[in-house]
Chains A and B, each alone.
Chain A
Amino acid sequence: MTEAADSPAFATPQGEPSIGDLEAGVQQRRRRRLRRERIGSLAYPIGMMVAVLVVWEAAARLFSIPPYLLPAPSAIVLSMDSNSAVLIKESMGTTFEILLGFAFSVVVGVPLALAIYLWRPFARAVYPLLVSSQAVPKVAVAPLFLVWFGFGLMPKVLIAFLIAFFPVVINTAMGLAALEREKIYLARSMGLGPFATFFKIQLPNAMPSIFAGLKISITFAVVGAVVGEFVGGQGGLGYLLLIANGNMDTALLFAGIVALTVLGVVLFLLIGLVERMVLPPHAVEHASFGSESM
Chain B
Amino acid sequence: MGAGARKIADNDHAYLRIENLSKVYATRDGEVRALNNISFTQRRGEFISHVGPSGCGKSTLLMIAAGLIPPSSGAVRVGGRTVDRPRTEIGIVFQSPVLLDWRTALGNIMLQAEARKMNRKEAAARARELLAAVGLGGFEERFPHELSGGMRQRVSICRALIHNPDHLLMDEPFGALDALTRDQLVLDLQALVSERRMTVLFITHSIAEAVFLSDRVIVMTPRPGSIDRIIDIKLPRPRTLAMRETPEFAEYSRQILELFLARGVLREHRTGAEKEYDNDRSSGFARLRNTAG
Contact = CB atoms under 8 A, between A and B. Distances in A.
Interface of A: 180, 182-183, 185-192, 196, 200-201, 204-205, 207, 279-280, 282-283, 286, 292, 294
A283 B101 contact: yes
**Secondary structure class of chain A's binding surface, majority of residues:** helix
What 5 pairs between A and B have smallest CB-CB spacing?
A190-B115, A191-B88, A188-B86, A192-B115, A182-B98
B200 interface: no
A280 B98 contact: no
B155 to A, nearest CB: 13
Nearest to A282: B145
Interface stretch (B5-13, B89-97, B274-282): B89-97
A38 B145 CA distance: 23
A280 B102 contact: yes
A45 to B, nearest CB: 29
Nearest to A205: B100
Contacts of A188: 68, 86, 88
Interface in B97-156: 98, 100-102, 111-112, 114-116, 143, 145
Nearest to B96: A292
B101 A282 contact: yes
Nearest to A280: B102
Contacts of A292: 96
B98 A204 contact: no
Contacts of B143: 280, 282
B86 A186 contact: no
Contact of B98 (A180, A207, A286): A180
Contacts of A204: 100, 102
Interface of B: 63, 66, 68, 86-88, 90-92, 94, 96, 98, 100-102, 111-112, 114-116, 143, 145
Contacts of B96: 182, 292, 294
A182 to B, nearest CB: 4
A107 B84 CA distance: 39
A81 to B, nearest CB: 46
A189 B101 contact: no
A279 B66 contact: no
A279 B68 CA distance: 31
B102 A183 contact: no
A183 B98 contact: yes
Contacts of A192: 115
Given A185-B63, A185-B66, A204-B100, 16 more contacts: A183-B98, A185-B68, A186-B92, A187-B115, A189-B68, A189-B88, A189-B92, A190-B111, A190-B115, A190-B116, A192-B115, A196-B115, A200-B115, A280-B143, A286-B145, A292-B96
Given A196-B115, A282-B145, A186 B94 contact: yes
Nearest to A191: B88
A196 B145 CA distance: 24
B145 A190 contact: no
Contacts of B111: 190, 200
Contacts of B94: 182, 185-186
9 contacts: A189-B66, A189-B88, A189-B92, A190-B112, A191-B86, A191-B116, A205-B100, A207-B102, A286-B145
Nearest to B171: A182
Contacts of A294: 96
Nearest to A292: B96
A207 B63 CA distance: 28
Contacts of A185: 63, 66, 68, 86, 92, 94
A186 B112 CA distance: 9
Contacts of A279: 102
Nearest to B176: A292
A185 B116 CA distance: 15
B178 to A, nearest CB: 16
A201 B111 CA distance: 10
